[in-house]
A and B are shown apart, each in its own frame.
Chain A
Amino acid sequence: METKKAIISVKDLVKKYDDFVAVQGLSFEVYEHEIFGLLGPNGAGKTTTLEIIETLRDKTSGEIIVDGFSVDKQPQDIKQIIGVQLQAAGYYPNLNLIELIELFAGLYGANIKPMEMLEKVNLQDKAKAKYKALSGGQKQRFSIATTLINQPKIIFLDEPTTGLDPQARRNLWDLIIEIRNAGTTVVITTHYMDEAEQLCDRVAFVERGQIIALDTPDNLIDKLINSGFERKKEVKKANLEDVFINLTGQEWRE
């Protein structure tokens, strides 16, 4: 296996709230140019971990290095090389998409053409629309566009496909793969295992603030099969989602 360079390294990360330990001793590395998935049930500590890496939240202890910068000492440097999509974040009220992109360009000090950013996520037709007027899939694509403004080395996507219909979800996968192919490292959280299987180069399973497994989806599945696991039902060559896509078309709609 080729040696890969770690762009994010997390060591013994601990986050305690008053009477609750959200993250207890997480360690993992994210390699350059991969799509890395953090998987796990709600409340497992995925979002907390992401927000600590994103410099949005203080940690209790542990060490985190992002592209050579320490979250403790150089949070400003980290902010300049990452793009962040928050779960359920809104945008400045009363502004249209172009104006929102202009705002973020100013916040990042980036010199970009707003229309080109919208074209990247195929929203050029919605340039004059308000964020609130967008469909779920469009909202997520716009959020991703705002993460790309500063040409980041890493982007963080927190449950970007939650609540989307199958077409919009596939469309978003294509976009994420495109971004990765353009040289950006992607860290993503999701509840959908089919999504993780298709999209992620490596995944980490988080449970009660700890990593319980970390590998490529293939290896994890093989390991399980080798341990003698068998599905109760014989797997068919297609599943219900394939039927849905086949019946309603690959073409995704607004």
Chain B
Amino acid sequence: MKKYNNLTATLALAKASFRSIMRSPSAVVFTLAFPLIFILVFGFLGGGGTYIDVGVTPGSDVSNPVMGMLEKTGMIRLVKDKSKAEFDKLLEKGNVDAMIDVHKKVNSAAYSVNVVYTSASRDKGGILKSVLNNIFYDKTLKPTVAEIKESTVKGREYKTIDFILPGQLGFSLLSTGVFGTAFVFLSLRQTLVIKRFFATPVRRSSIVIGEGIARIGFALIGALFIILIGHFFFGFTLVHGALTVVNMLILATLGVIVFMGFGFIISGIAKNESMVPPISNIITLPQFLLSGTFFSIEAFPNWLQPISTALPLTYLNDAMRKVAFEGLGLWDVKFQIMILLLWGIGIYAVAVKVFKWE
């Protein structure tokens, strides 16, 4: 009798599973469409940055150093050529964040600057105030204004996409790992597909590994797609180019493997397919919100921080950002990798207990 080949069986399963995933609309939507939509939205939102619209009071001197300084900050858009009445309305609605009026002081080389803020736009008014304070010691301009020292933040420009993309990538990996794995194993079990497999000489490990290969392969294609679109269309920073991409994909692989563990657990606890989404959401939603997918976790209140710093996705996101934007190597993010591995060990320990074949 011909020797039975486990590798052939594993690869046949991987191929079948991969074909099946590629044809499954939900897998494609969760892995590619959702992250891309978020990246698209934030990519366009983030491009502009914050602007403060400052109206120039009619009659104000416009060819003075103050105006020049303000425009040079790159944050302030001067609005000119409107009547006093029009400005009052805009100011009231907060469409203009402040008004500025500059006049040469009588009998002096200095200028006097009057700024009017609006309560309709307090936060931007506050920014303007500090911008102005940076430029002047007080609101009376001295001719020596050019001496005011400007410090430029060193380093690369940190774009919104550089923050958003790794977070979306992490979330895409999380949903692929959790939802995909949970659904597939539950449905294979319920429709007796696995039982039929057991009537062939295939090993159980081949079934799990074959599925794993397919899911990891699919997740990596998705990740590569997201990274490339982010890079070429939204200027996502890849410090060391292709090497950075490879490092990110290695992290992605680790992430999917860990997250698939959640999927195995869910497929074991869920009694039917309609129980999969709620249980999966219990696992994915907190991580979606608290793991620094959209906002830096430093922005969260103190009592939330320990939760954030306990979640595995936090570490994947963190490692991804460090690798992509700061150009660190995998060894530099060994702490994050270690935490992920610890999660992995814990998750799979539970998975082995609760996973059901039949």
Contacts and interface: CB of A to CB of B under 8 A. Distances in A.
Same complex: yes
Contacts of A103: 12-13, 15-16
Given A93-B20, A94-B23, A109-B2, A56 B195 contact: yes
A79 B199 contact: yes
Contact of A86 (B188, B196, B201): B196
Contact of B9 (A90, A91, A93, A107): A107
B233 interface: no
A107 B198 contact: no
A162 interface: no
A92 B199 CA distance: 15
B12 A54 contact: no
B144 interface: no
Interface residues of A, number: 30
B201 A107 contact: yes
Nearest to A84: B199
B187 interface: yes
Interface string B187-217: 1100111011111111000000000000000
B19 A89 contact: no
Contacts of A201: none
Interface in A131-181: 146, 150
B4 A95 contact: no
B282 interface: no
Interface in B1-25: 1-2, 4-5, 8-9, 11-13, 15-17, 19-20, 23-24
B201 A108 contact: yes
A106 interface: yes
Contacts of B198: 55-56
Query: Looking at chain B's contact residues, is the secondary structure mostly helix, strand, loop, or mixed?
Result: helix
B200 A108 contact: yes
A80 interface: yes
A65 interface: no
Contact of B13 (A77, A107, A108): A107
Contacts of A77: 1
Contacts of A109: 2, 4-5, 8-9, 201
Contacts of B196: 84, 86, 89, 91, 146
Nearest to B187: A93
Interface of B: 1-2, 4-5, 8-9, 11-13, 15-17, 19-20, 23-24, 187-188, 191-193, 195-202
15 contacts: A55-B199, A56-B195, A79-B201, A91-B191, A91-B196, A93-B187, A94-B24, A99-B19, A102-B15, A103-B13, A103-B16, A106-B11, A107-B201, A108-B200, A150-B200
> Top 8 A-B pairs ranked by shortest CB distance?
A106-B12, A90-B191, A84-B199, A89-B192, A94-B20, A94-B23, A107-B200, A103-B16
Given A86-B196, A107-B201, 11 more contacts: A76-B4, A80-B1, A84-B199, A89-B191, A92-B188, A95-B19, A105-B12, A107-B12, A107-B197, A109-B4, A146-B196
